[in-house]
Structure 1
Amino acid sequence: MISTVLVGLTAACLLGLGFVAQQHVAYAEPLGEMLRLRLLLHLVRKPLWLAGVAVMVGGQVLGAMALRHADVALVEPLLATNLIFALEGAAMLYGERIGLTEWIGAVLVSGGVAVFLVFGEPHGGQAPEAGSPVWIAVLVLIVMAAVLVLTALRTGLQTKAMLLAAAAGTLYGLQDVLTRGSLLTLDRGWGALIATWQPYLLIVIALSGILLNQSAFDAAPLRISLPATTAAEPITGIVLGVVIFSEHLRVDPGALAGEVAGLVALVAGIIVLGRSPFLAKSEQGQTERPGAAPRR
């Protein structure tokens, strides 16, 4: 348990720092690049962005290690603390000190994770049986992400960034679940893994999530474009962990109240941290961007 928590928090740290580097670069790209593959083609030429991706991938690898030995419902809340580390990274990048608001947000996020884990006691979980309708849950999540994207196309820039970020978080949560499913299948051998659809869909979902996330980073500063991702990913992962892997949470009235309180505190902390001025520093000096539309 303790080792899983440490690995999960280290993964969250790398994810947060990776997001800071990626957004710092992506925000300078023209707005016309959003949701286009050429956005990624431009970004791969930027050393800082590549470094951010490498750090993020390191976090994802550690997250996969945690998922191999623990349930999604345990690991996902730990990964949600990546926004705290993003805050620290942004503060160092822009030479600012963390204030009371940021500490309140950090306590809410960390406390929310701890409360959820203590009251929920997530446990169990196994690879879904052959023939189980896993694809239905996967399809529902993909449709939800598509609806968020289509809605984003009809909104103002800041709302667009939040909706795209929420869609990215939804896909990241699905990616975590597919990762755990692939690892559980791998226990039966590489032949069993290759014969399933999960690893192939995992690649598509991962690339789609990156494109949506970078588009959100392109549209708005980190305080707007990251919190929705950070909130959507653990919620999606926890729900799918219960639905797909039959993971168990305590369901007595006291436990349910604690679980709800923990998730509410987690989301509230993400919102508070998302309003931090440190995460908005990349706005400065970039009000006139190539191809930029007027800010709304």
Structure 2
Amino acid sequence: MSVLVLVLAVSAACCLGFGFVLQQNAAQRAPLNDFLSFRLLVDLVKVPRWLGGIALMVVGMALGAAALGQGELSLVEPLLATNLLFALALSRRQTRQPLGRQGWAGLLLLAGGVSAFIVAGEPQGGSATADPTRQWLIIGAMIGLALLLTAHAKRSRLNSGPVLLALGAGLLYGVQDALTRVSGEKFSEGGFAGLLTGWQPYAVLALGVTGLVLVQSAFETASLRKSLPALTAAQPIAGIICGVGFLGDRLRTDAVALSWEAGGLLAVIAGIVLLGMHPAMPTGAAERARAGQLQPQPQ
């Protein structure tokens, strides 16, 4: 694994993690009638904290794109999942909660799972020249599943809705990362002319904006404990599926390697859940309001 790819991917994860915390701090105060509406972005763009979070997210995406230009999608995606570590670090600073056993267990599972997957799988790059049939099947399946999750989330916005929206956004962001890699190769081969004549950069933009609406709606209606773990878990899995499915990334496929790869991904997901549910993660405004409604009123 290239040291440059490691530095770029972890730096991207740092910016994304800090950015998500700032975005959720602002989004939780947005009007609930903006749920799943582009009006939500119009309202949030007036909030300096949210703009700071978006700026960090843009820097993180740029660093992630640079990492994808130097390394395989199946390598970069698990490293980007460590954004939750940085989100927890900033949340701990805000809430002053100790890390405790849960935090250390989540940290070790996430870091160990990422390491196990990379060491066992030994991701190797293929060509970003995608197989058209598999490309459209996989992209269609990811987007279709994201739409189904979003449709169900609209019917349960304050219950399972935030988790479903975050899962849908993670799927979209995983596809976006795959198409970012294709766009980077087109740019290196044909410059801006070669890039702008393809459909991929426009799809990257559309997926990014749509994913942003889903994420901010999830942040608006629930705490980071509910939304961020689902987002962080879905994105690398979707990215790895795209990388192996139609971008030609290669992983070791012998029985031992596959066992370690599967175990590594399960450890990553378990670590994400533990860290996401850590008490340091702030409680959303909507959840606090519901908790207040459930408390007995003083006589």
* TM-score, with length taken from structure 2: 0.93
1:125-274 equivalence runs, <5 A? 125-128=126-129, 134-155=135-156, 157-190=158-191, 191-274=193-276
Q: Which amino acid aligns with 2:63?
A: L
- Tell whether the 8 Å contact from 2:74 to 2:243 is kept in structure 1 after alignment: yes
Unaligned ranges ≥5, structure 1: none
**Equivalent residue for 1:66?**
67
Tell me how far 1:284 sits from its aligned partner.
Answer: 9.5
RMSD (CA atoms):
2.1
The percent identity for this pair of structures is 42
Q: Which amino acid aligns with 2:97?
A: E
Q: Deviations over 1:18-41 (max 9, x none)?
A: 000000110111222110111110
- Tell whether the 8 Å contact from 1:126 to 1:184 is kept in structure 2 after alignment: no
Where 2:179 maps in the other structure, the secondary structure is helix
Q: Deviations over 1:67-109 (max 9, x none)?
A: 0000100000000010111000101122332222111101111
Q: Deviations over 1:183-208 (max 9, x none)?
A: 01112113222221100111100000
* TM-score, with length taken from structure 1: 0.94
How far apart, CA to CA, are the structure 2 residues paired with 1:83 and 1:129? 30
How far apart, CA to CA, are the structure 2 residues paired with 1:288 and 1:47? 27
**Equivalent residue for 2:100?**
99
**Equivalent residue for 1:35?**
36
How far apart, CA to CA, are the structure 1 residues paired with 2:294 and 2:244? 43
Q: Deviations over 1:229-259 (max 9, x none)?
A: 0000000000000111111000000000000
How far apart, CA to CA, are the structure 1 residues paired with 2:3 and 2:66? 14
**Equivalent residue for 1:56?**
57
Tell me how far 1:135 sits from its aligned partner.
Answer: 2.6
- Tell whether the 8 Å contact from 1:94 to 1:281 is kept in structure 2 after alignment: no
- Tell whether the 8 Å contact from 2:130 to 2:246 is kept in structure 1 after alignment: no
How far apart, CA to CA, are the structure 2 residues paired with 1:217 and 1:167? 13
Where 1:276 maps in the other structure, the secondary structure is coil
Task: Number of aligned residue pairs: give it.
Answer: 293
How far apart, CA to CA, are the structure 1 residues paired with 2:85 and 2:104? 9
Q: Which amino acid aligns with 2:90?
A: G
Tell me how far 1:281 sits from its aligned partner.
Answer: 4.0
How far apart, CA to CA, are the structure 2 residues paired with 1:224 and 1:121? 32
Q: Deviations over 1:107-145 (max 9, x none)?
A: 111110000000000102212258555233222211110
Classify 1:114/1:133 alpha carbon distance in 2 versus 1 (closer, same or farther; 3 Å).
Answer: closer
- Check if 1:15 corresponds to 2:16: yes
Tell me how far 1:212 sits from its aligned partner.
Answer: 0.2
Q: Deviations over 1:40-75 (max 9, x none)?
A: 100000000000110111111110110000010000
Q: Which moved more, 1:30-39 or 1:228-237?
A: 30-39
Tell me how far 1:2 sits from its aligned partner.
Answer: 1.8
**Equivalent residue for 2:116?**
115
Unaligned ranges ≥5, structure 2: none
Classify 1:271/1:133 alpha carbon distance in 2 versus 1 (closer, same or farther; 3 Å).
Answer: closer
- Check if 1:87 corresponds to 2:62: no
Q: Which amino acid aligns with 1:19?
A: F
